[in-house]
Amino acid sequence: MSVLLVLLIHRLLPESETLIDLGVRAGLAIVFGFLAQRALFLVVGRSQKWIERAGKESQHARRRAQTLGHILRNLITTLVVVAVVLYVLGALGWDIRPLLATAGIAGVALGFGAQTLVRDVIAGMFIIFEDQFAVGDLIEVNGKAATVEEFTVRCTTLRDFHGYVHFIPNGEMKVVVNRSRGWNRLAVDVPVAPDENADLALDLCRRVAAAMNAEPEWRSRMLDDIQVWGLESLGSHELSIRLVVRAVPGSDAHEVARELRRRLHRTMIEAGVRLGISREIGIGTMAPHEGPTTAASV
């Protein structure tokens, strides 16, 4: 058994070079590959800063730069490792041309046999080029909202509200809703008992909205003043009055809406206006077709 092992070693190693020479050449190849990787990483880092400056240091620009940097670093690492391995094999006396040819043929075969993988990679490239979302964005896929934790050209890793991690191939994401771009608008509906004075309820809502609009603490967190759109619906159990809040993506709109709900509830109770019996004051995301559209909200 030991004789066969020695013959195998002599068969694999070239006769013209010693193990020390091979070790030196392999070590130099590894060092050169490491330095090349560091240099390319430096270029990627500079590119990230350029993307952030081009995007005026916005949160979206930072997320896009982070996503592209992560993908490019993985690609660079893979290419450097493959190049070093091929060089070491060549130093050992192996003819790598048949290996490269075999890899090319295997790649073609895998391309036909792994069409789903190819579809996912192509979809991932389009997501990158079109800047559909980036790491840190809150997106909605197949009706479920989650935060993008990691993104590669093949798969996207999402974490939902409950902390569950979802791994979704990029080719499976047909329709993606990005909730982290531009601005968000939330609707606060106030249900009032159907036999109450609607004009009085509307006047109370306008007073609450005007008070919050005048407070710098809350006004600074909104893109527009809180607007009272009026009666949204009439029913046998309630009248629904709609107010809307528009703010940058994040917690601002939700926190303003929560405070608005609290003040509306207190104001209605103090004024003796009974609320509807079918539901409490709620908050929901306004459908795109609901309400007027202004130049500021486009």
Whether CATH 3.40.50.10800 fits 184-287: no
Q: For all residues of the chain together, what is the average pLDDT?
A: 79
Give me the residue label for tokens 């809350």: 218
pLDDT value, residue 287: 42
DSSP string, the chain: -HHHHHHHHHHHS-TTS-HHHHHHHHHHHHHHHHHHHHHHHHHHHHHHHHHHHHTTT-HHHHHHHHHHHHHHHHHHHHHHHHHHHHHHHHHTT--HHHHHHHHHHHHHHHHHH-HHHHHHHHHHHHHHHHT---TT-EEEETTEEEEEEEE-SSEEEEEETTS-EEEEEGGG--SEEESSSS-EEEEEEEEE-TTS-HHHHHHHHHHHHHHHHH-HHHHTT-SS--EEEEEEEE-SS-EEEEEEEEE-TTTHHHHHHHHHHHHHHHHHHHHTPPBPSS--SEEEEPPTTSS---GGG-
Beta bridge partners of 219: none
The fraction of the chain above a pLDDT of 70, given in percent, is 76
293: Cβ contacts below 8 Å, ≥ 6 apart? none
Whether CATH 2.30.30.60 fits 129-178: yes
Question: What is the CA 148 to chain-centroid distance, rounded?
Answer: 4
pLDDT value, residue 95: 65
Tell me the pLDDT tens digit for each residue of 92-111.
666 666 666 666 655 655 55
Whether 129-178 and 2-113 are alike in CATH topology: the answer is no
What mean pLDDT do residues 65-89 have? 82
- Take residue 24 and report the two structure tokens written for it: 């030196």
- Bigger pLDDT: 277 vs 77: 77
pLDDT value, residue 295: 31
Q: How far is CA 120 from CA 3, 20, 23, 73, 142, in A?
A: 49, 45, 40, 20, 17
Q: CATH class for domain 2-113?
A: mainly alpha
Local confidence band at 296 (pLDDT 50, 70, 90 cut-offs) = very low
Local confidence band at 288 (pLDDT 50, 70, 90 cut-offs) = very low
Ranges of each domain in the chain: 2-113, 129-178, 184-287
Tell me the pLDDT tens digit for each residue of 148-191.
998 888 899 999 989 999 999 998 888 899 988 888 888 999 99
pLDDT value, residue 143: 82
Per mean pLDDT, which range of 82-91, 110-119, 263-272 is the poorest? Answer: 110-119
What mean pLDDT do residues 54-80 have? 78
Tell me the pLDDT tens digit for each residue of 193-252.
988 889 999 999 999 999 999 999 999 999 989 999 999 888 888 889 999 999 988 888
pLDDT at 297 exceeding the cut of 60: no
pLDDT value, residue 261: 93
Give me the residue label for tokens 């703010």: 247
Per mean pLDDT, which range of 218-222, 266-270, 282-286 is the poorest? Answer: 282-286
What mean pLDDT do residues 276-285 have? 52
- Take residue 208 and report the two structure tokens written for it: 């609450």
